[in-house]
Amino acid sequence: MRRPLSVVEPLRIGSLELSLPLVLAPMAGYTDSTFRTICLERGCGLVFTELVSSEGIVRDNTRTLNYLSTQPGERPIAAHIYGSDPEVMARAARRVEMLGRFDLIDINAGCPVPKIVRKGSGVALMRDPYRLREIVHAVVSAVSLPVTVKTRSGISPDNANISQVARAIEEGGASAIFLHARLASSVHSGPADLDVLCRVKAEVSIPVIGNGGITNAQNALFMLKETGVDGIMVGRAAIGNPWVFAEIAAELTHNKYHPPGARDWVNAMTRHLRGLYTAMSHENNQRKRPRPYPERAACNRFRGHLTKYLRHAGCPARARRALLEQEEVEPLLRLVRKALQSPHFDEHRKQ
């Protein structure tokens, strides 16, 4: 069902209501707590943890539980868990709910990473919709939080069974489907299949949130209009550009979008890197044998974000190279301020 762009309704997922239907996708190595908070402050309506092992949760594995760490006020947020055993998934979900930090629990049925798939988890669950329904039902029965599923349009061109999978998810009692409209075999390449989103939206009665290929407000509004999905999930386009949510939110609410200036970029990068360093230092202190260079590890982890931040901010390529070589937090941030607040930077952005 297509709808006019002027109509933007709250996104209701079970008992949870989002005033704007904008969601940050879970991305391993990227959606850390500080980044999630930055996105929420810029118009994102819901964020996800990184992928968390249900086995690690029930075994009380410290490293796994660190993925469930959040900051005060980091709401609403979904715990994004994976596994293939209904009983273990249910126990993990109960443990997550008891933490009191989360607003919903999401089951991953779309990750194509081989080490996940080999365990029968992630997108491997699409091979057996009945098994997936069992897992959803077990988790729904174990918790009072809304339960959702993130999946894909299929595994490969000859195994694109999203219609059966979507029905199994709904029959299991899930409150919504987050649908990455690409095949697992395509990973992140190629356009999102809007026809798949439109079809699945017509086939199930629970909300469907579209994911794939959203890079700006124009893409987001086009997907909403052409498919009738209930919301938009943004992934890689948010890396280094949390203002993508502010841009989309401005279009949805018919407000003027104010692009970030140099100071905004500096403040976001400063907050993000310092927050990441604090979290990684805490995790390092939990190790039986702490690593000697947590600052270097934080800078290395931040590098993927930094590359995108600097490119979106308009930092010249020659300046970006020097910044990416830094391995200390404060010296790196001093160079960021110097690069982005210089007159040459402003002149470069105007060209």
Active-site residues: which are they? Answer: 111
Q: How far apart are CA 337 and CA 139, in angstroms?
A: 47
Instruction: Give the tokens for residue 59.
Output: 């075994």
- Reduced DSSP (H G I as helix, E B as strand, rest coil) percent helix, strand, coil of the chain, to 5: 50, 15, 35
Pairing label, strands 147-154, 176-183: parallel
- Using alpha carbons, select from 196, 192, 136, 123 the residue that is nearest to residue 169: 136
Distance CA 106, CA 147 (A): 6
Q: How far is CA 108 from the centre of its chain?
A: 12
Q: What is the DSSP letter of 22?
A: E
- Amino acid at site 332: L
Whether the bond into 294 is cis, omega within 30 of 0? no
Q: Alpha carbon of 23 to those of 18, 226, 253, 335: distances in Å?
A: 10, 19, 16, 32
